[in-house]
């Protein structure tokens, strides 16, 4: 009989069988595992346009993790889809911000801190992807301090740019401070939480009225 030559993956499975690493399971357990695998099956193709800088950063982060960047993107999309299905908008914003900060941290395993806050002027000079990262970080800081935000990152992007264009005196303020000022003015329900949050080091004492 001709001996079949196994590939590396098949040989690993055979060796595991010999060592007794595979055990029988009930039909219910088998069905549960099969359903989990089916939910993770990549059976759709998505073609999207992305910012070239964002793609470069994604590739670098994927390389740090030792995975293909397509796999990294697919996993991020899966986490967002899985964890945000029934999430209220305010909680979803917190989730997106936390995900962004966690992802940014992968770029430098030696540093476990979040990115340094930037000033209004520094933010204006950034790329679209960098701007979004900073907005999400500021949103995370505010929501972490009990401020219930109701707008999307894109809404805050427009509001921040408009305020900075018309108020150059804000250039030297941190982006979180400027966002807090905008939220305080436009979202009255946030004012009690913002008044309390201003006593914490993440949010400096800025004039709110």
pLDDT digits (tens, 9 = 90+) for 85-139: 555 555 555 555 555 555 554 444 434 444 567 899 999 988 887 888 788 888 8
pLDDT 10s digits, 33-91 = 777 767 666 677 778 787 888 888 888 888 877 778 888 888 777 776 765 555 555 55
62 inside domain: no
pLDDT 10s digits, 171-190 = 999 999 999 999 998 888 88
Domain total of the chain: 1
Could you tell me if 179 and 142 are in contact, meaning their C-beta atoms sit under 8 angstroms apart?
yes
105 inside domain: yes
106 inside domain: yes
154 inside domain: yes
Alpha carbon distance 201, 192 (integer Å): 17
180 inside domain: yes
209 inside domain: yes
203 inside domain: yes
110 inside domain: yes
Provide the residue range defining the domain that includes 189. Answer: 89-209
Q: Which two tokens stand for residue 197?
A: 């949050």
């Amino acid at each position: 009989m001709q001996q079949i030559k196994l590939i590396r993956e098949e040989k690993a499975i055979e060796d595991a069988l010999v060592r007794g690493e595979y055990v029988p399971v009930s039909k219910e357990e088998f069905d549960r595992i099969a359903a989990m695998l089916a939910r993770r099956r990549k059976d759709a193709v998505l073609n999207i346009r992305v910012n070239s800088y964002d793609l470069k950063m994604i590739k670098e982060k994927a390389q740090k993790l030792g995975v293909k960047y397509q796999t990294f993107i697919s996993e991020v999309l899966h986490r967002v889809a899985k964890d945000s299905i029934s999430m209220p908008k305010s909680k979803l914003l917190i989730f997106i911000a936390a995900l962004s900060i966690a992802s940014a941290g992968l770029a430098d395993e030696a540093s476990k801190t979040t990115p340094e806050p930037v000033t209004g002027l520094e933010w204006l000079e950034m790329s679209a992807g960098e701007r979004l990262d900073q907005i999400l970080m500021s949103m995370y800081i505010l929501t972490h301090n009990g401020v219930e935000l109701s707008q999307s990152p894109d809404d805050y992007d427009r509001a921040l740019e408009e305020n900075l264009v018309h108020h150059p005196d804000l250039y030297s303020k941190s982006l979180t401070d400027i966002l807090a000022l905008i939220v305080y003015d436009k979202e009255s329900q946030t004012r009690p939480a913002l008044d309390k949050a201003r006593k914490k080091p993440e949010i400096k004492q800025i004039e709110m009225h």
